[in-house]
């Protein structure tokens, strides 16, 4: 019993202190900006965003922090965003990885007067929920990019061909949009039979899943991966199983493995969404808004494709972590 009273007293004391300090004005000595993604810098793609964020912070002389869970984890991302709100961020950039969940956080942040921009993944065009009040989107249009890369490969894909899309994060709005763009172009232009496989983020599982599919469907003509986590095992497979020439492959995003494979002719092209800009520009825009009330504007980071011709020039930049 006495112990219960003691615990109760401690709790009351804690809450009391907290309510007292809650009234103290928060005085952040320095502007701090948070960029919060659904995956962290362990993914080579996000490592580049991380660098963009850090560089922007250095250039501007502000605190800019990139945060993301070890592997795709929406609740963890939401929790990080809530902590950023509690830390009285001067601005938050966040990937709209799950519109209802992230939408809520963005509304709460805006409700507390914190400016928010979306990066990397935006609210889907057909989203039926309450509109999400981010101020601008800094990233690429996934659906258009999917159509774009599929069109680039059309000359190498025969009529009625079988095509495999490796989906390493099922349910990811952006990846699904990329896949949809690819699928639409190929079925409309070539009447292709497009299969989408959950290849997971685990390279070993990914490899064996794709191999099993190709064993069952040896007439597959093209392979699309939707990011490095899908591309790395796919390139390994094409190299080991000597599939170059039999299967044309294209991917999304930049990493050393994919670029090397493009140089060797194992991969036709990859979409460069220049994610460094997503980190760098979002911090810059949030900074300019905090400082001069300049409204953030949409910024399309998605550019053309990296092909055999351009691969060498970007390769060194990939190694430095900018592309």
Partner 1 sequence: MRDVGDKAISGGAEAKAVKMLPAAPPERWRRLLAIRELGVLIALIALIVIFTFLQPAFLTLDTFGDILTQAAELGVAAVGVTFLMIAGEFDLSVGSTFAFAGVLLALLVTRFSVSPFLAVPAALLFAGVIGLLNGLITLATRIPSFITTLGTMMMWRGLALAITGGWPISILTASTLLDVLGGRAVYSTLRISALWLLIVTAVFWALLGKTAYGNWVFATGGKREAARALGVPVNRVKLINFSVAGVLAGTAGFLQFGRMSSMSPVWGDALALEAIAAAVIGGTSLMGGSGTIVGTILGAITMASIRVGLVMVGAPSYWYTAFLGVVIVLAVILNVKLEETFAWRR
| Residues of this chain that bind partner 1 (CB under 8 A) | 2-3, 6-7, 10, 15, 17-19, 21-22, 24, 26-28, 32, 34, 40-42, 50, 63, 65-70, 72-76, 78-80, 82-88, 98-101, 103-104, 127-130, 170-171, 198
Contact partners, residue 289, CB within 8 Å, separation at least 6: 91, 115, 135, 295, 296
Which residue lies nearer to partner 1 by CB, 29 or 159? Answer: 29
Q: Considering the complex, state which of residue 50 and residue 95 has its C-beta at the smaller distance from partner 1.
A: 50
CB of 29 to partner 1, least distance (A): 10
Closest approach of partner 1 to the CB of residue 61, in Å:
15
Q: What are phi and psi of 36, to 5 degrees?
A: -125, 120
Could you tell me which of 178, 24, 20, 31 has the C-alpha nearest to residue 90?
31
Choice between 80 and 261, CB closer to partner 1: 80
Hey, is 223 helix, strand or coil?
Answer: strand
Q: Contact at 8 Å (CB) between 92 and 283?
A: no
Contact between 266 and 246 under an 8 Å Cβ cutoff? The reply is no
Nearer to partner 1, 12 or 83 (CB): 83
Residue 74 C-beta: closest distance to partner 1, Å: 7
Sign of CA dihedral 188, 180, 321, 243: negative
Please enumerate in sequence order all residues whose Cβ is within 8 A of that of 174, keeping only pairs 6 or more positions apart, or say none. Answer: 97, 120, 121, 142
Closest distance of CB 63 from partner 1, Å: 6
Nearer to partner 1 by Cβ, of 61 and 158: the residue is: 61
Residue 313 has φ and ψ, to the nearest 5°, of -65, -40
Cβ proximity to partner 1, 10 vs 312, nearer residue: 10
Picking from 224, 229, 220, the residue whose alpha carbon sits closest to that of residue 249 is 224
Question: What's the closest the beta carbon of residue 276 comes to partner 1, in angstroms?
Answer: 17
Contact, 149 vs 74, CB < 8 A? no
Beta bridge partners of 95: 119
Radius of gyration of the CA atoms of the chain, in A: 22
Between residues 198 and 240, which has the closer beta carbon with respect to partner 1?
Answer: 198
CB of 71 to partner 1, least distance (A): 9
Q: Whole-number minimum distance, CB 201 to partner 1, in Å?
A: 10
| Neighbouring-strand partners of residue 252 | 271
């Amino acid at each position: 019993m006495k112990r219960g009273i003691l615990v109760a007293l401690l709790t009351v004391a804690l809450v009391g202190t907290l309510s007292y300090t809650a009234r103290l004005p928060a005085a952040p000595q320095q502007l701090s900006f948070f960029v919060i993604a659904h995956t962290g810098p362990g993914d080579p793609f996000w490592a580049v965003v991380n660098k963009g964020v850090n560089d922007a912070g250095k250039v501007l002389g502000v605190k800019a922090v990139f945060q993301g869970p070890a592997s795709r984890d929406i609740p963890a991302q939401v929790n990080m965003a809530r902590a950023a709100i509690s830390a009285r961020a001067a601005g938050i950039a966040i990937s709209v990885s799950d519109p209802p969940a992230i939408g809520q956080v963005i509304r709460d942040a805006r409700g507390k007067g914190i400016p928010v921009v979306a990066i990397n993944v935006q609210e889907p065009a057909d989203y039926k929920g309450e509109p999400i009040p981010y101020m601008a989107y800094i990233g690429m249009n996934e659906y258009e990019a999917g159509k774009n890369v599929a069109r680039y490969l059309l000359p190498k894909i025969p009529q009625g061909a079988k095509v495999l899309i490796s989906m390493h994060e099922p349910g990811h709005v952006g990846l699904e949009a990329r896949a949809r763009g690819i699928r639409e172009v190929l079925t409309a232009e070539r009447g292709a039979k497009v299969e989408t496989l959950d290849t997971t983020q685990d390279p070993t599982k990914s490899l064996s899943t794709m191999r099993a599919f190709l064993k069952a469907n040896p007439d597959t003509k093209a392979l699309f991966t939707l990011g490095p986590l899908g591309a790395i095992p796919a390139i390994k497979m094409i190299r080991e199983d000597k599939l170059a020439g039999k299967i044309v492959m294209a991917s999304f995003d930049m990493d050393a493995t994919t670029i090397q494979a493009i140089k060797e002719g194992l991969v036709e092209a990859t979409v460069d969404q220049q994610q460094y800009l997503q980190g760098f520009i979002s911090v810059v825009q949030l900074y300019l808004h905090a400082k001069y009330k300049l409204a953030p504007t949409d910024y399309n980071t998605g550019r053309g494709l990296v092909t055999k011709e351009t691969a060498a020039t970007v390769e060194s930049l990939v190694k430095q972590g900018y592309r």
